[in-house]
Structure formats: structure tokens, C-alpha cells
């Protein structure tokens, strides 16, 4: 119920609502707090084809010993007509899970709301972001000028933010590149971007800022192919996959 209060910001919960919530928790969540299991809450878009990869991540995690990976959408409804039910389910499951794994592929939909929840709550410390085709932006991941150009293209393709803001971000990117020993300028980057039509995902400014936060904390795993997504999934903390499966 403490998690419910966090979800509702102290809103009074009626007695019948509390009974339904506790009954749902007793029915749906025992596997999450089983001491012998590692529980992963897997977030992402439920629209096709994105949902297929979200489920694939959950299936991959469930191959490990003593692991329970699940999607909120697979849990039954609580029947709370007055209350925002998804918020209640999210906060209960995120509280009880050992890790939260979020797969991102687009700049719209419910997953952007989930990204905001992870970045601004106590769940951030146990959360890992898996953004498709996100290009590393911090100096630790800038190895040559091509990396700078790719990161610059991503900044300029952001779906919000004015031109002045994007140029300011390019200046910051060039400064990080300089710290990484890469000799370039904002003018050189913008010239290359004008010469080449570089295809990048058009994430929103909110996405890019939160991805960078996860990156700085060492919990951002960009991927392009499903194979890369699975390899990144295998890097998550917890029990390993069976040895026989990896042979």
C-alpha cells in the first residue's frame, strides 16, 4: 500500500479499492518477492511489431536460472474504475521487482511516460534502458569523428527543441569530443550533416536526455539488430543463462 500511495500521491483509497488492490497483489505478485527468484519487470511498446521484441527480451531473461520476467500487460486487471489503474500496477510491480528493463524504439506512445517514471523515481537505481539505434553521446563512447557525426545527426533529428537548443547541444558534443582527443568543430559537423543524409531514429528531446542519464550511470544498452538486443539482455545482472544453452 506504500507503493500505491506513491502512485496516487497520497490520494485517499476507499476500503473496497484497498481490498481489491491487496487481493490482486496476493494473486499476481508472489513470484516477484520469492526470495529464490530474480524478478524483472520488462517495459516497452505493446504495439506491433515492437511488442514482439519486448516479449523476446522477457523470454530471454526467463531462460536464466531462478528468474521471473514479466510484462504488466500480462497481469490481470484490478477493477479500479475511479483510480488510474496502470499507475497502481506499475508502482506495485516496480517496487517488488529486482530490476526494471525498458525497451525503446520510437518517440511516441506510453513508453515515453514509463521512461519519465523511471528517471524521476526511486526505481531509477534498478532500471536499465535499451534504446534502439541510440548513438552514445558521452566522451567515453566517442572514438572517432564518425561517432561525433552520428551523435550530431541524432541531436539534429530530435522531434522537439528549437534550432538554437540543438546548436548548443552540438557545441557540448564537440567539447566532449575534444576531451576524447577528437579534433573537430561545430562547423565541420554541420557541414558533414548537410552533405550526407544520415538516417537516425527521431527520438524526442526528452528521450535523448533520459538516455544520456542512463548512459552516464552505465545502464544504457543501445542496439540495432535483435541479436544485439539479446546480447545486451544477457549483460543484465542476475543469474546467468544455462551453460548448455550457450554452447
Clarify whether residues 128 and 150 are in a common domain: no
Which alpha helices (DSSP H) does the chain contain, by range? 2-8, 15-28, 50-62, 85-96, 110-120, 145-156, 163-179, 186-195, 205-216, 226-234, 243-246
Determine the pLDDT at residue 32: 80
C-alpha to C-alpha distance for 203 and 65, rounded to whole angstroms:
35
% of the chain exceeding 90 in pLDDT: 56
CA distance readout (Å), 149 to 24, 61, 90, 130, 177: 50, 34, 38, 22, 10
Assess contact for 137 and 200: CB atoms under 8 A: no
What digits encode the pLDDT tens for the residues 43-52?
A: 999 888 899 9
- Domain containing 167 equals 139-195
Determine the pLDDT at residue 119: 84
Determine the distance from the C-alpha atom of residue 64 to the mean position of all C-alpha atoms in its chain, rounded to a whole number: 21
Clarify whether residues 143 and 67 are in a common domain: no
DSSP state of 129: E
Clarify whether residues 104 and 161 are in a common domain: no
Clarify whether residues 157 and 236 are in a common domain: no
What digits encode the pLDDT tens for the residues 12-22?
A: 999 999 999 99
Instruction: Decide if pLDDT at 240 tops 80.
Output: no
Clarify whether residues 8 and 96 are in a common domain: yes
Question: Which has more confidence, 140 or 223?
Answer: 223
Number of domains, the chain: 2
CA distance readout (Å), 43 to 56, 71, 99, 111, 239: 12, 6, 11, 7, 20
Determine the pLDDT at residue 225: 93
Assess contact for 10 and 91: CB atoms under 8 A: no
Q: How does residue 58 score in pLDDT terms, banded at 50, 70 and 90?
A: very high
Instruction: Decide if pLDDT at 246 tops 70.
Output: no
Determine the pLDDT at residue 183: 92
C-alpha to C-alpha distance for 161 and 164, rounded to whole angstroms:
8
88-97, 111-120, 130-139, 191-200: which has the minimum mean pLDDT? 111-120
The answer as to whether 205 is a domain residue is no
Determine the pLDDT at residue 243: 62
Clarify whether residues 46 and 143 are in a common domain: no
Q: How does residue 164 score in pLDDT terms, banded at 50, 70 and 90?
A: confident
Mean pLDDT of 44-66: 93
Clarify whether residues 17 and 97 are in a common domain: yes
Q: Compute the mean pLDDT over every residue in the chain, rounded to the nearest whole number.
A: 88
CA distance readout (Å), 86 to 16, 72, 174: 18, 8, 41
Instruction: Decide if pLDDT at 107 tops 80.
Output: no
Assess contact for 38 and 208: CB atoms under 8 A: no
Clarify whether residues 13 and 128 are in a common domain: yes
Taking the CA atoms of residue 222, residue 169, residue 178 and residue 135 in that order, the dihedral angle to the nearest 10 degrees is 10
Mean pLDDT of 125-138: 90
Which grid coordinates belong to 101? 528493463
Instruction: Decide if pLDDT at 205 tops 90.
Output: no
Question: Which has more confidence, 94 or 200?
Answer: 94
C-alpha to C-alpha distance for 121 and 21, rounded to whole angstroms:
21
C-alpha to C-alpha distance for 58 and 41, rounded to whole angstroms:
8
25-34, 69-78, 81-90: which has the minimum mean pLDDT? 25-34
**Looking up cell 551453460, which residue turns up?**
243
CATH number of the domain that residue 51 is part of: 3.40.50.450
Determine the pLDDT at residue 230: 96
C-alpha to C-alpha distance for 221 and 115, rounded to whole angstroms:
14
Nearest to 116, CA basis, from 218, 221, 204? 204
% of the chain exceeding 70 in pLDDT: 94
Instruction: Decide if pLDDT at 78 tops 80.
Output: yes
Amino acid at each position: 500500500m506504500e507503493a500505491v500511495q506513491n502512485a496516487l500521491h497520497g490520494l485517499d483509497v476507499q476500503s473496497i479499492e484497498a481490498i481489491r488492490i491487496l487481493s490482486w497483489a496476493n494473486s499476481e505478485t508472489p513470484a516477484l518477492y520469492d526470495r529464490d527468484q530474480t524478478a524483472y519487470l520488462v517495459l516497452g511498446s505493446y504495439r506491433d511489431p515492437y511488442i514482439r521484441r519486448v516479449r523476446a527480451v522477457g523470454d530471454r531473461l526467463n531462460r536464466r536460472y531462478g528468474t521471473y520476467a514479466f510484462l504488466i500487460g500480462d497481469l490481470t486487471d484490478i477493477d479500479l474504475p475511479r483510480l488510474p489503474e496502470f499507475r497502481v500496477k506499475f508502482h506495485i510491480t516496480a517496487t517488488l521487482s529486482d530490476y526494471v528493463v525498458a525497451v525503446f524504439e520510437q518517440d511516441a506512445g506510453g513508453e515515453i511516460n514509463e521512461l519519465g517514471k523511471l528517471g524521476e523515481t526511486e526505481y531509477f537505481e534498478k532500471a536499465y534502458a535499451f534504446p534502439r539505434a541510440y548513438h552514445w553521446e558521452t566522451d567515453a563512447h566517442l572514438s572517432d569523428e564518425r561517432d561525433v557525426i552520428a551523435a550530431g545527426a541524432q541531436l539534429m533529428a530530435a522531434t522537439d527543441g528549437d534550432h538554437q537548443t540543438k546548436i548548443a547541444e552540438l557545441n557540448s558534443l564537440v567539447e566532449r569530443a575534444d576531451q576524447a582527443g577528437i579534433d573537430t568543430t561545430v562547423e565541420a559537423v554541420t557541414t558533414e550533416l548537410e552533405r550526407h543524409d544520415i538516417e537516425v531514429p527521431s527520438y524526442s528531446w526528452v528521450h535523448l536526455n533520459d538516455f544520456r542519464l542512463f548512459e552516464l550511470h552505465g545502464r544504457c544498452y543501445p542496439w540495432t539488430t535483435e541479436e544485439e538486443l539479446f546480447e545486451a539482455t544477457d549483460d543484465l545482472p542476475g543469474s546467468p543463462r544455462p551453460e548448455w544453452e550457450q554452447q
